[in-house]
Amino acid sequence: MNGTVKIGNQIWQTKNLNVERFRNEDFIPHAKTDAEWEHAGLNEQPAWCYYNNDSQNGEIYGKLYNWYAVNDKRGLCPSGWHVPSEEDWDELVYFLGGKDIAGSKMRASDTLYWRHSPLSITDNESGFSALPCGNRDYDGSFNGIRYLAFFWCDLANNNNLAWNRYMAYNYSYFSTNCNSKAFGFSVRCLRDK
């Protein structure tokens, strides 16, 4: 189990999810190749991977999951925890002073992982300790490690898109975005109330 931090009235895990089984112990398919990743997305099947297929990245940043794993009825987060809703993320952002500054209060202040630029706008005041895990596109390509952090929400926008939150190395914001459900993003679990 990851460490936890209380932020306002919420309790968050302090690391990204790094599991290969659903809550019921069924394995989540591991998509290693670009073709396997793209196939999972096209067929609306759950999948996970390490950034750049490197297990050392998994130890640092956790796994990347497509939205079909996030939304699977077998449950991705451990018992007593859940993938945050839009409302959960909004509550966190509001508590930290709004979307324009929340990112700087959530980003781990460690130049070993983040590109060096954010030190002047990073303090990890909240203890959330976000790391720049990057993402995997629907076609299997990887982007953004050391520059960007993406986190899934539990809400779809339509048949093809789902909501997520992200932050960048050189801005203090924590923004809302909508991407293909076939993308691979991090998951940060929130304790049930």
pLDDT tens-digit readout, 82-95: 999 999 999 999 99
Do the Cβ atoms of 70 and 88 come closer than 8 Å? no
Domain-wise residue ranges, the chain: 4-191
pLDDT at 2: 65
The three-class DSSP label of residue 1 is coil
pTM above 0.85, yes or no: yes
DSSP assignment letter at 157: S
pLDDT tens-digit readout, 102-151: 999 999 876 678 876 545 566 789 999 999 999 999 999 999 999 999 99
Give the residue from 133, 130, 64 showing the smallest Cα distance to 102. 130
Instruction: Find all residues with CB under 8 Å of 128, minimum gap 6, and list them.
Output: 5, 7, 12, 14, 92, 105, 106, 107, 188
